[in-house]
Amino acid sequence: MELSPMFPATFAETEGGGYYNWAAAESPVMGEAKVAAGKLVLKPRGFALPHYADCPKIGYVVEGVCGVGLTTPENTKDTMTYTGLKKGDVIPIPYASVSWWYNYGDSDVVIVFLADATNAYVPGEITYFLLTGSLGHLAAFSPEFIAKTYQIKVEKAEKLADSQKGVFLLKLSEEEAKTIPNPNEELPNIWTKSIDASCPDVEVNNGGKSTTLKGSQFPLLEQVGLNVNHLVLAAKATRAPSYASHPRMFYVAKGTGKVEIVGLQGKLVLNSKVESGQLFVVPKLFMLAISADEQGMELVSIVTSSRAVIGELGSKSSVLNTIPSVVQASLNVTPELTHQFRQMMETGTIIVPPMDLKDKSENGA
């Protein structure tokens, strides 16, 4: 099974920005794990046309600010929103909901989408359906149907179809940009949550922090059926080995480090360096360990279930934290080494600082 970290490929680039995706053909594990991912880059005044997709997903803002319009099909009157996003924000995008994105800032905005591709048309990829633009639905239907739908003359329907411009990404003119209001990204709402600013589950001196958003805390996240984690590792810190009941997908938002994955029959199936901009997938029940280089690391990840179970190999939550004699017999080591091993489980954390900076103090669970 090929698990090597990957950079995305260019899907589309225009004056307004670009969309980049991780193709399942280049990484079959994405299709097997039923996950998908893409990256949207919008330049100032860049505009992503209204669209919907075949995958529920979350968007994570890597950098910049932007506005997003989101409409869910159940009840458009009550479920239509236009809200601001900034670095560190997470926004769930429910299955079949319509969204559009606009960069009202002065610098590029980068948003990474991590998706559950269980019901995707193409296993391991997100398929988009455009409502407007030259490849949009309004341009595809016959003028007669458009005329009947909107109660307009056929001539106007033909003009409507012919006026559709762009494929996916546009750059608005200065005059067009003035007509779109800037949202208040500081305004509390039910649609977004800053995972950067959320209280971490685990925080370790000189080690880093781990923050998880769950559906119980964030109802819209429950609707898309995902858990989201933000992991920040300090220089040379390590995220202790863990496994999950469902596939996990990680995007490296910052820094470099090393990833090891252990799979079937106790085989090391990945031992690789990872760097900013890369993505990697961890199949269900495979054990993962992450270690940061000297500049540290920042990763955002999803588990493809809002009820996923995470098993820890280290820390006080270790699944090996059982009867001492059982641990000793299982490891086949001396009582003294068993005691040391168990002591580290009792006092350790899932984030381990470098040995010369190790501080056993921990805030949180």
pLDDT higher at 121 or 344: 121
pLDDT given at position 160? 80
- CATH numeric code, 9-178: 2.60.120.10
Of the candidates 177, 40, 176, the residue with the CA atom closest to the CA atom of residue 108: 40
Q: How far apart are CA 268 and CA 138, in angstroms?
A: 51
**Per-chain mean pLDDT for the chain:** 89
Residue 44 has pLDDT above 60, yes or no: yes
pLDDT higher at 290 or 183: 290
Query: Tokens at residue 26, please?
Result: 């280049």
| Per-domain residue ranges of the chain | 9-178, 198-315+350-364
Residue 111 has pLDDT above 80, yes or no: yes
What is the pLDDT averaged over residues 89-104? 95
Confidence of residue 80 (pLDDT cuts 50, 70, 90): confident
- Beta strand 80-86 pairing with 65-71: antiparallel
pLDDT higher at 71 or 360: 71
What is the pLDDT averaged over residues 94-110? 95
Residue 362 has pLDDT above 70, yes or no: no
pLDDT given at position 318? 81
Residue 358 has pLDDT above 70, yes or no: no
Task: Report the 10 Å Cβ neighbour count for 27.
Answer: 22
Q: How far apart are CA 284 and CA 268, in angstroms?
A: 15
What is the pLDDT averaged over residues 10-37? 94
Q: Which H helix or E strand runs over 348?
A: none
Three-state DSSP class for 69?
A: strand
Of the candidates 201, 185, 213, 269, the residue with the CA atom closest to the CA atom of residue 5: 269
pLDDT given at position 57? 96
What is the pLDDT averaged over residues 321-347? 76
Of the candidates 43, 48, 22, the residue with the CA atom closest to the CA atom of residue 130: 48
What is the pLDDT averaged over residues 133-137? 83
Confidence of residue 363 (pLDDT cuts 50, 70, 90): very low
Percent of the chain with pLDDT over 90: 63
CA 131 centroid distance within chain: 24
- Per-residue pLDDT of 169-218, as tens digits, reads 999 999 999 999 888 666 667 789 999 989 999 999 999 999 999 887 78
Select from 2.60.120.10, 1.10.167.10, 3.40.920.10, 3.40.50.150 the CATH code of 198-315+350-364. 2.60.120.10
Confidence of residue 360 (pLDDT cuts 50, 70, 90): very low
Residue 346 has pLDDT above 80, yes or no: no
Confidence of residue 100 (pLDDT cuts 50, 70, 90): very high
Domains 9-178 and 198-315+350-364 share a fold: yes
Residue 303 has pLDDT above 90, yes or no: yes
Confidence of residue 33 (pLDDT cuts 50, 70, 90): very high
Confidence of residue 77 (pLDDT cuts 50, 70, 90): low
What is the pLDDT averaged over residues 115-139? 91
Query: Tokens at residue 32, please?
Result: 């097997």
What is the pLDDT averaged over residues 44-58? 96
Query: Tokens at residue 181, please?
Result: 């209001």
Confidence of residue 79 (pLDDT cuts 50, 70, 90): low
Residues 6+ apart with CB under 8 A from 67: 82, 83, 84, 85, 101, 102, 104, 180, 182, 183
The shares of helix, strand and coil residues in the chain, as percent rounded to the nearest 5, are 20, 40, 40
